[in-house]
A = this chain, B = another copy of it.
Amino acid sequence: MSDLGTVDVSLTADEKFGEFLESRQMKYTTERRIIVDEVFSSHDHFDAEDLVAKLHRRRDGRRVSRSTVYRTLGYLVDAGLLRKMALGNREVYEHDYGYPQHDHLYCQQCSTLIEFKNDSLRSLRDEVCREHGFRPVSHRLVIYGTCANCNRSRVSKRRLDMV
Contacts and interface: CB of A to CB of B under 8 A. Distances in A.
A48 interface: no
B128 A118 contact: yes
B141 A141 contact: yes
A105 B120 contact: no
B151 A132 contact: no
Interface in A93-117: 105, 107-108, 114, 116
A72 interface: no
A138 B107 CA distance: 11
Give 9 nearest A-B pairs by CB, closest first.
A133-B148, A86-B86, A136-B145, A139-B143, A137-B145, A141-B141, A135-B145, A135-B146, A105-B134
